Amino acid sequence: MLNKIIGLTTTLKIWNTLERTYVVASHSRVLELCTEIQSIKKDGLIVDEYVLKLKNIANKLASIGEPVSD
């Protein structure tokens, strides 16, 4: 990460560089988590474990600014 911002002279340039770098990663992560939700199966889990898995994925989405709506 440091190599991306060395030589940048303003905080705005640093912010914009970091934002461009991590927005792409965030978008990929959102798609990955949405796919995980869509493909989740109960597969012998008890209901509590299944719901916990769904909640964990939903919490991960919320933590990156993409909350799951009801």
What confidence tens digit (pLDDT) does each residue in 6-63 have? 999 999 999 988 888 777 668 888 999 999 999 998 888 899 999 999 999 999 888 8
| pTM, two decimal places | 0.63
Q: Exposed, middle or buried: residue 3 (CB in 10 Å: 0-12, 13-18, 19+)?
A: exposed
What confidence tens digit (pLDDT) does each residue in 1-14 have? 788 899 999 999 99
Cα first-last separation, the chain? 37
